């Protein structure tokens, strides 16, 4: 593997696929399968791509994302590492300096705290500090945010942490289409990408078109997707919360409220244009995230809308976020600590002046 970079650079593949014509027939695949096939195809297409992390090889991945890859590509390109995130993240950054394209898997992004110096000070800043002479084409990926019953040290969302750092790109897939298209884009990108998955979504199945299943498929980084069009209120969400927002929109529709749901897909860069265009149409905004409220992704979105579309707002912006406490272990308290569908419904109703305001209710 290490000799690969001495070969002449192959023709550069496009960052995202051009418009092509495919059958519209849909097939369902899980997010796990989408990630696995994306890794497989990118490793097949580019010998400089390799995967490293704890249990990614012999065990087929802690969540079976790398199933079958060791047998196909061998131990030089699917590397099992010791339990030392600082060690293998640093090795990955060094390999990226040298022209390889590492995909570094964290068993959970909570463990990325052990490696954050390499992610922030080495990967994110090197291109700027070298005046563009050093590219760092590396992907840091793994499950992020709350799972179920794993306590405070395994449940935190790091979207706003990494999104605050210039030099990083931060992606948050929701569906199988997101997972497949965004991971391919991340691997092909010349800059470091933090790829935040969700453990509870791995087994979820989503319909995908023939276009999505094509090996050339790739999604543009920095572009949100309108999952559901509406005219009364805009709801922004990412990762698992997109599903909650869509279910909330179905409930709201039965009560005569038309909600537009935006799947952010990319936290940095943030698609401010799509968000503000939607708010200028609906005149109301509800932001949804699992992370802590203070300095969160929702706070950044609120600021963007206040700066660019304040005159269009007909109601205060509503922010739905996780509770401002470490994640409880008890199941009943854990449920109270993360946003629920009913929280989104209530917030949308408040924005549309269809329920009692929070202050009055208190």
pLDDT at 192 over 70: yes
Count of domains observed in the chain: 2
Two tokens at 59?
């065990």
Does residue 220 sit within a domain?
Answer: no
- In sequence order, the 6+-apart residues with CB closer than 8 A to the CB of 352 are 232, 233, 257, 284, 315
* Claim to verify: residue 254 and residue 323 sit in the same structural domain: yes
CATH of the domain at 305: 3.40.50.920
Q: Are residues 289 and 346 in the same domain?
A: yes
- DSSP class of residue 61 equals -
**Can you give the pLDDT at residue 9?**
39
CA distance 94 to 28: 38
Distance CA(280)–CA(233), nearest Å, equals 10
Residue 257 covered by a domain: yes
**Shared-domain flag, residues 292 and 156:** no
Q: Which of 173, 191, 213 is the last residue of a domain?
A: 213
Which of 145, 179, 213 marks a domain boundary?
A: 213
For residue 293, the enclosing domain spans 225-353
- 33 and 124 share a domain? yes
User: Is 12 inside any structural domain?
Assistant: no
- Identify whether residues 242 and 151 lie together within a single domain: no
The verdict on pTM exceeding 0.85 is yes
In a domain, 5, yes or no: no
CA 309 vs CA 282, 318, 348: distances in Å: 11, 15, 18
Average pLDDT over residues 126-152: 93
User: Average pLDDT of the chain?
Assistant: 92
Q: Determine the distance from the C-alpha atom of residue 145 to the mean position of all C-alpha atoms in its chain, rounded to a whole number.
A: 11
Q: Are residues 229 and 297 in the same domain?
A: yes
CATH assignment of the domain containing 189: 3.40.50.970
Residue 149: pLDDT band (50, 70, 90) is confident
Task: Please tell me the predicted confidence (pLDDT) of residue 26.
Answer: 75
Question: Tell me: the pLDDT tens digits for 83-94?
Answer: 999 999 999 999
Evaluate if residue 25 carries a pLDDT over 70.
Answer: no
Name the residues annotated as catalytic.
85, 154
Asked if residue 33 belongs to a domain, the reply is: yes
Task: Report how far residue 302's alpha carbon sits from residue 121's, in angstroms, rounded to the nearest whole number.
Answer: 28
Among 213, 241, 265, give the residue marking a domain's end. Answer: 213
């Amino acid at each position: 593997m290490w000799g690969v970079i001495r070969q002449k650079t192959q023709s550069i593949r496009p960052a995202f696929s051009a418009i092509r014509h495919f059958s519209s027939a849909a097939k369902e695949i899980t997010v796990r399968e989408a990630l696995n096939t994306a890794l497989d195809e990118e490793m097949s297409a580019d010998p400089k791509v390799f995967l490293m992390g704890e249990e990614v090889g012999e065990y087929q991945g802690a969540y079976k994302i790398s199933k079958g890859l060791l047998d196909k590509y061998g131990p030089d390109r699917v590397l099992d590492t010791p339990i030392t995130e600082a060690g293998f993240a640093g090795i990955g950054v060094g390999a990226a300096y040298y022209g390889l394209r590492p995909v570094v898997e964290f068993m959970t992004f909570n463990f990325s705290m052990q490696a954050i110096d390499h992610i922030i000070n080495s990967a994110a800043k090197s291109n700027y500090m070298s005046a563009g002479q050093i590219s760092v084409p590396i992907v840091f990926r793994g499950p992020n945010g709350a799972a179920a019953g794993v306590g405070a040290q395994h449940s935190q969302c790091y979207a706003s942490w990494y999104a605050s750092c210039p030099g990083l790109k931060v992606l948050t897939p929701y569906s199988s289409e997101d997972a497949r298209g965004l991971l391919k884009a991340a691997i092909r990108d010349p800059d470091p990408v933090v790829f935040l998955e969700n453990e509870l979504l791995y087994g979820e199945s989503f319909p995908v078109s023939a276009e999505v299943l094509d090996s050339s498929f790739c999604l543009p980084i920095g572009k949100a997707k309108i999952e559901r069009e509406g005219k009364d209120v805009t709801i922004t969400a990412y990762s698992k919360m997109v599903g909650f927002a869509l279910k909330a929109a179905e409930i709201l529709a039965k009560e005569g409220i038309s909600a537009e749901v935006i799947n952010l897909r990319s936290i940095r860069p943030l698609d401010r244009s799509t968000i503000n265009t939607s708010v200028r149409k609906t005149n109301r905004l509800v932001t949804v995230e699992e992370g802590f409220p203070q300095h969160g992704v929702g706070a950044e979105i609120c600021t963007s809308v206040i700066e660019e579309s304040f005159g269009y707002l007909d109601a205060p912006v509503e922010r739905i976020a996780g509770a401002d406490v470490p994640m409880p272990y008890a199941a009943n308290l854990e449920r109270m600590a993360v946003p629920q569908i009913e929280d989104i419904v209530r917030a949308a109703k408040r924005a549309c002046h269809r329920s009692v305001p929070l202050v009055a209710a208190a």
